[in-house]
Amino acid sequence: MKMKKIAVLGIAGMMAASLLTACGSGATTEEGGNAAGTDGSAAQTETASTDTRFDELQTIEGYGMSFYGDAGWAEVQDAINEITEEAINVRINYHPMDVASYMEQIGLMLSGGESFDLVMCTAIPVVSFSTMQSQSELMDITDYLDEYAPELVQTVGKYMEATTVEDKVYAVPNFKMDNSKYYIFMRKDVLDYLELTEKARSCDSWTEVEEILYAVKDAQETLPEELRTNAIISNSDAQGCVICDCAWDSAPENFADGHGMDILANASKLVYIDESDNQVKNWFATEDYKTIVERAQKWHQDGLVYKDAATSDETGDTLMANGITFSYMCAAEMGAEVAKTNTTGHEVVAVEYGAIPVQTYNVNCWAWAVPSTSENPEAAVAFLNQMYTNPDIENLFVYGLEGRDYELNENGEAVRKDDAAYRCEDFLFGNQFNAYPPAGMGSDFRELSLKDFEEAEMSPYYGMTVNTDPIANELTAVNNVLVKYERGLESGTTDISSLDSMLSELDGAGLQTVIDYYQQCLDEWLAEQ
């Protein structure tokens, strides 16, 4: 493939030092410089640009998940391609898919050998980095990053470890606020009407949360029509999860007694590390998991939970936006109340109940990879370099077209229009810190959020990834069991007795082999630290 280099402007550093690994674990790398700064509007990438411009126009195909469909995307894509064609002579045909379609089709496309060039890795287990990588569906892009995207690597820095397995990079994690906290989001208009707002803001236990949920349920018939909802609490995601949180133990009655768990980047929540003895254990077999499921079951039996939680393909954001639910629980970052207010169209109160340290999982749970079937990885990685370092491209992906989908206010904040043709979340593409701050966040929001992220607590096991190829068959069998049981249990719609059946079938599917292998990898990684 003929290409030429242009605009060599003195890069501050080339690709980070080799990511040494043990049993698939990422070791320490040199930290890249800060990826972004702020000037009161969008965060601006500080690294200089060294673009690879191809002699002939390259066209790549990409697939990703969208919570809002593909409305308005065609014109946004044209604007992005205008930039990338001029810079590197690459254009993308990107296909946004709804959550259900993405979960169903991407795995089939990858396993069927369909050729395309970019794929979004998500927090949903069936289309996660760990699942795709373990099934050999992702390409080793280490050398391509060195050649076509050194600025990207410098930008993401040490967080590249989260997608590095045995010294090979298989994806690029989105550079975003990975120091998430867990919240219960409640509609403020309902709380205000029932004079429960201050109670919600001061909640520090599950008993106090339940008092609010039951009070809202009991008041449904007396609430004004516009404040009534079909459900008091809904599933947070497209997997039916109402209350069980990934990498956070929310079983204790008091929020302060909950704690984070490193899950070794296994998006299915199969395993966690007991920090007291560095032992890998089965999360589903713990008393705490049972307590959480029993709490969800009680809520369902008492009529609090959305009746379609176990089967719904809609998220809590959408369900609240559509007036279906009063509340839902999920992870969010700094500025959560404003962000969810903008997303749902309802002012919310965010009740924080947990904050997990940065770990490999919450770094690689949203990432971009090149499928192993790609016939043009050079152009795909060159496009990623643009996506992670060019603020104009980031803002197009996040907000759409200025004037049509959003306006900038006097503070340099992006104000989405009520009739915006295009909508998207700001953590799905590239470098979140390059996006304009959302309306209400403040002109220095991206600068403050980057600082907050850089100062966040990190898991003592951060950087450890596992090459799961040797246990791929067992993981597939185990995940098939989870598909059968997990939605029902974590939405509270099936009886707690089914947990025993799930545990028995997990054992039969080879879960102990999985645990033993993770333990071996952990022991080897710890020995080298």
pLDDT for position 34: 34
CA distance 158 to 149: 15
Instruction: Please tell me the distance from the alpha carbon of residue 148 to that of residue 58, in angstroms, as a whole number.
Output: 14
What confidence tens digit (pLDDT) does each residue in 384-402 have? 999 999 999 999 999 999 9
DSSP state, residue 273: E
pLDDT at 265: 81
Name 74's Cβ contacts closer than 8 Å, sequence gap at least 6.
none
Q: Which residues pair with 63 in a beta bridge?
A: 95, 119
Burial 278-296 (b: 16+ CB within 10 A, else e): eebbbbbebeebbbbbebb
Which of 65-69, 377-381, 386-390 has the least mean pLDDT? 65-69
User: How far, in Å, CA of 392 to CA of 420, rounded?
Assistant: 18
Q: What is the pLDDT confidence band of residue 239, given thresholds at 50, 70 and 90?
A: confident
Q: What is the pLDDT of residue 339?
A: 87
C-alpha radius of gyration, the chain, whole number: 23
Check pLDDT > 90 for residue 262: yes
Closest residue by Cα to residue 522 from 363, 367, 369, 360:
360
Q: Are 182 and 357 in contact (CB under 8 A)?
A: no
Say yes or no to pLDDT of 41 above 70. no
Give residue 364's identity as a one-letter amino acid code. Answer: N
Cβ-based neighbours of 160, under 8 Å, separated by 6 or more:
16, 19, 26, 29, 153, 169, 172, 173
CB 408 within 8 Å of CB 100: no
The pLDDT value given to residue 51: 54
Range scoring the smallest mean pLDDT among 26-40, 362-376, 385-399:
26-40
Residue with more model confidence, 343 or 184: 184
C-alpha to C-alpha distance for 109 and 116, rounded to whole angstroms:
9
pLDDT of residue 17: 33
Mean model confidence pLDDT for the chain: 89
User: pLDDT per residue over 87-116, tens digit each?
Assistant: 999 999 999 999 989 999 999 999 999 999
Residues 6+ apart with CB under 8 A from 237: 123, 124, 315, 316, 330
| pLDDT tens digits, one per residue of 151-171 | 999 999 999 999 999 899 999
**Tell me: the pLDDT tens digits for 438-466?**
998 999 999 999 999 999 889 999 988 88
- The encoded tokens of residue 197 equal 């707002």
Of the spans 117-131, 209-223, 267-281, 331-345, which averages the highest pLDDT?
A: 209-223
Using pLDDT thresholds of 50, 70 and 90, give the confidence band for residue 33: very low
pLDDT 10s digits, 115-156? 999 999 998 888 999 889 988 999 999 999 999 999 999 999
pLDDT over threshold 90, residue 40: no
Counting residues of the chain whose pLDDT is more than 90, the rounded percentage is 74
The confidence score (pLDDT) of residue 102 equals 95
pLDDT at 292 over 60: yes
Asked if residue 170 lies in contact with residue 141, where contact means CB atoms within 8 angstroms, the answer is: yes
CA-CA distance, 242 to 329, in Å (whole number)?
A: 7
Which alpha helices (DSSP H) does 260-403 contain, by range?
A: 287-301, 316-321, 336-344, 360-364, 377-389, 391-399
CB burial of 158-167 (b: ≥16 within 10 Å; e: otherwise) equals bbbbbbbbbe
Amino acid at 210: E
- Give residue 464's pLDDT: 87
Answer whether 436's CB lies under 8 Å from 408's CB: yes
Q: 218 by DSSP, 3-state: which?
A: helix
Q: Please check whether residue 429 is in contact with residue 397, taking contact to mean a CB–CB distance below 8 angstroms.
A: yes
Distance CA 505, CA 500 (A): 9
Confidence band of 29 (pLDDT split at 50, 70, 90): very low
Residue 39 in this model has a pLDDT that exceeds 60: no
**Which is nearest to 90 in space by CA: 432, 372, 398, 384?**
384
Q: How confident is the model at residue 61 (pLDDT cuts 50, 70, 90)?
A: very high
Q: Which of 193, 95, 154, 152 is nearest to 382 (CA)?
A: 152
Per-residue pLDDT averaged across 42-65, rounded?
73
pLDDT band at 269 (very low <50, low <70, confident <90, very high): confident
User: Phi/psi at 120 (nearest 5 deg)?
Assistant: -85, 125
Q: Residues for the chain: how many in total?
A: 529
Sign, CA dihedral 245-249-252-255, equals negative
Q: What are the residues whose beta carbons fall under 8 Å from the beta carbon of 198, sequence distance 6 or more?
A: none
Per-residue confidence band for 25, with pLDDT thresholds at 50, 70 and 90: very low
Query: In this structure, what DSSP letter does residue 346 have?
Result: S
Contact (Cβ atoms closer than 8 angstroms) between residue 95 and residue 120: no
Q: How far apart are alpha carbons 100 and 90 in whole angstroms?
A: 30
> Would you state the pLDDT for residue 129?
93
pLDDT given at position 45: 42
Residue 3: is its pLDDT beyond 80?
no
